[in-house]
Amino acid sequence: MSTRILGAGAFSPRWILAGVMTLSVAIAQTPPREPRVHDPSQIIQEGADHWFFCTGMGVNAYHSRDLTTWERGRPVFSEMPAWHREVVPTQKGHLWAPDVIRVGDRFYLYYSVSSFGVNTSAIGLATSPTLDPAAEDYRWKDEGIVIQSRKTDDFNTIDPSVFRDEDGGRLWMAFGSFWSGIKLIELNPETGKRVSPEMPPIAIAWKNAIEAPALYKHDGWYYLFVNWGICCRGADSTYEIRVGRSRSVTGPYLDRDDVDMMKGGGTLFLATEGRMIGPGHVGIFSENGHDWLGFHYYDREAKGMPAYGMRALTWSADGWPEAGALHETNFHSVAP
């Protein structure tokens, strides 16, 4: 698509409210609650600890030994790299929608630098040999910009989702919000940067009000999860998770009715149910033969505040993902 899509969602209060929610962590609650979580990454394991990262000042981090009790970790950045303000002059450290992966002996963490309502954005990269702040070699190194979008582009560089294909070890990143939809680029595993900076991103899904992609491979199929709708409106949020699949990472991704996701296709995977409003921003983690689904939602019983949810991820007989039983954590619990 070459047309810049400016649907109502492009001017929604996305991220403005998310920022307020994140900053509200310090406000005392009765009874005490864990901090709000928005745009969680996939879970990644190092040693006995599991980690995920999320939107916040300097990129927020959480860790757990048992996937049940989560503790706040150290933010990735205590001081923002200078290039942030060159991309977005109003940038004050509120970084969005990170994702993380281990490649060799380093962890690659991708995150968004952006501003409200426009596609003046960039996806940055930070690397560290460990996730453990207590380790002697713990240090997040700023690696600069991976990809950038400007007002003249028809895409928006936010919501990175990084995926390494076990077949050949190729590294890919999906990203995108509104405008012309979800895009895909190939990354160099040795650097974490683009293989071909001059090559335009590959379009893999489009619909007005689409964002937050996540790539996952299961039984020979590549699955693309996306969000439709509007987030960040608390109990009025309309987010829902849709999915399609392909035999190739570059697509085409078709839904269960064989409709191409570039033509508005997408099978409903998870939507509002009970107190869980507007689920979104999928991250998948596999351990000991079990698949887990991480996501954020808006808690109807907590005035629409964002929370982190985990559910078992199961698969139908014909290979489609299904959201299974809730996994209770010390974040807001959900009783659909």
Q: One of 34, 99, 159, 211 is an active-site residue; which one?
A: 211
145 pairs with which residues across the strands?
A: 124
The secondary element (H helix, E strand) that includes residue 268 is strand 267-270
3-state class of 51 per DSSP?
strand
- Cα–Cα distance between 84 and 157 in angstroms, integer? 14
Nearest partner of 214 among 320, 150, 285, judged by Cα: 285
The amino acid at residue 173 is M
- Cα–Cα distance between 277 and 168 in angstroms, integer? 39
Q: For the beta carbon of residue 146, count every other beta carbon within 10 angstroms.
A: 24
Q: One of 34, 39, 143, 240 is an active-site residue; which one?
A: 39
- Answer yes or no: are the C-beta atoms of 119 and 141 closer than 8 Å: no
- Cα–Cα distance between 203 and 181 in angstroms, integer? 7
- Answer yes or no: are the C-beta atoms of 156 and 179 closer than 8 Å: yes
Residue 288 token pair: 């000991």
For the question of residue 39 being annotated catalytic, the response is: yes
For the question of residue 211 being annotated catalytic, the response is: yes
- Answer yes or no: are the C-beta atoms of 285 and 295 closer than 8 Å: no
Nearest partner of 114 among 123, 103, 105, judged by Cα: 123
Residues with Cβ within 8 Å of residue 92, at least 6 apart in sequence? 80
Q: What does the CA dihedral 192, 197, 202, 207 come to, rounded to 10 degrees?
A: 90
Catalytic site positions = 39, 211
